[in-house]
Structure formats: C-alpha cells, structure tokens
Amino acid sequence: MCFSAEISFSAGIALIGIGSYAVKKVDSQKKIAFASVPIFFGLQQISEGFLWVGLNSGDQQLMQELSMYVYIFFAQVFWPTWIPFAIWKMEPDLKKKKILFYPFLIGIAASIQLIYSLIFYDVEASASANHIHYDIEIQRLGIHQVLYVLSTAIPFYISSLKYMKLVGTILVTSLIISMIFYFYHVISIWCFFAAILSSLVLLVDAKNANPKDI
C-alpha cells in the first residue's frame, strides 16, 4: 500500500482479520478461496510495509529486496490466477462455470509471463511523493497489463452470484482512477484500492448464503 509503513502494516493486520472472519463464516468449502482474498491482500500490504522500512533506512538491502519481490509476487503473479480461480470455484451455474475457466487460463498465462520477467529482468522499487514506484521490465510491453485486467475483471461480470458485478465495476473504476491520476505509481495505488475493496467479500458471502448447487 502507498503512503507509509505504518499505514501498510495497519491495513495489513486489519485485512488479515477481515479475511479470517470471512473464512470462518463461509458455508461451503468452495467459497474459501474467495473468502481468503483479504488475508492475501493483508500479507501483501505487510510486505510493502517492510519495503517502506527498507527504502527509508537506506541500509536494509536484504529486507528491501525480499519485501519487494514478495509484494510483486502477490500484486502481479498471484492475483491474475487466484481471482479467476476463486470465482470459478464458487460459481453455482454450470454453464457460467465453464466460461469462467477461460479467464482462469488467461490469468495463468499472465502469471507465467511475469514470473519469466522476474527471473530474467531487473525489478526496482523507489519511493517518491509518499508512494512506491515499481519498475518492472515486462510492464513496458503492454501485453501483461491486458492479460492481467482480463483475468481479474471479467470473472466478476460472468459470475451469476449477487453483487459480483458491483464489485467488478468498483474494481475497474478504481483502476481507471489510478491510471488517470497516479499512472507512475499505478501498481501501488491500485493495490491500495483493491485491498480495501477485498473487504467486500463479506457482502458477497452474506448475499449468497447457500446458493443453489454450491
């Protein structure tokens, strides 16, 4: 998350608490992947908290490197696969479930592409204007961004579950706002919005208790 280490740590702890509660409240094992989304966002934000500490201290190179790669793993590798998988897993409509498998495959492709980039290209993180900028070589190609958005946004609109389209619309709107006003820091800023929005899993779960065929 942007702004400061304190905010990142606080938000991370809060999100882990929200996610733990959501997982505890699910009425089907098929919902666990989706309910656990805030937990992973919490871990992601805590890793950025450690990155802030490393960047601000100037002499914590190992902490800086490890926390940067953990954050990038969650932000760019994990979510394109986990989000479509979680929505596919809990989808009760068999026809839509088959369709949802395709964004999942797209997400896997996006994740593999980013893993390749992390292995063979340099990644850098720098702090400016109370935000962290992540410089990733593959981001300049444009292909990964397209696959990323397709895999993380489309499943919300395909799903038959209540309020999923609303969550997807808010997510896409936050991306547009981030790109317009914070393009240079879009990875960090959009993850800030997405982390906060992850608490909406409680709404989705509450409004879809015991849906048919789950």
pTM, to two decimals: 0.82
Give the pLDDT score at 142: 65
Classify residue 213: in a domain, yes or no.
no
Classify residue 212: in a domain, yes or no.
no
Distance CA 79, CA 91 (A): 18
Both tokens of residue 8? Answer: 């990142």
- DSSP H helices, the chain, are 5-25, 32-35, 37-57, 61-72, 79-90, 94-120, 143-158, 164-181, 186-197, 201-207
Q: Which residue did the predictor score with more confidence, 175 or 211?
A: 175
User: Any long-range contacts for 91-97 (C-beta under 8 Å, 24+ apart)?
Assistant: 91/159, 91/160, 91/161, 92/160, 92/161, 92/211, 92/212, 92/213, 92/214, 93/160, 93/213, 94/213, 96/158, 96/159, 96/160
Task: Give mean pLDDT, residues 42-48.
Answer: 88
Classify residue 214: in a domain, yes or no.
no
| Residues 111-132: tens digit of each pLDDT | 988 888 888 877 777 776 667 7
Classify residue 19: in a domain, yes or no.
yes
Q: For residue 23, what are the domain limits? A: 5-206
Classify residue 70: in a domain, yes or no.
yes
- For the chain, the domain total comes to 1
| Residues 25-41: tens digit of each pLDDT | 888 888 899 888 889 98
For residue 158, the domain's CATH number is 1.20.1070
Backbone angles phi, psi at 134, to 5 degrees: -110, 120
| Residues 69-95: tens digit of each pLDDT | 898 888 888 999 999 999 999 999 999
Question: 136: which strand partners?
Answer: 123
Give the pLDDT score at 205: 66
Classify residue 211: in a domain, yes or no.
no
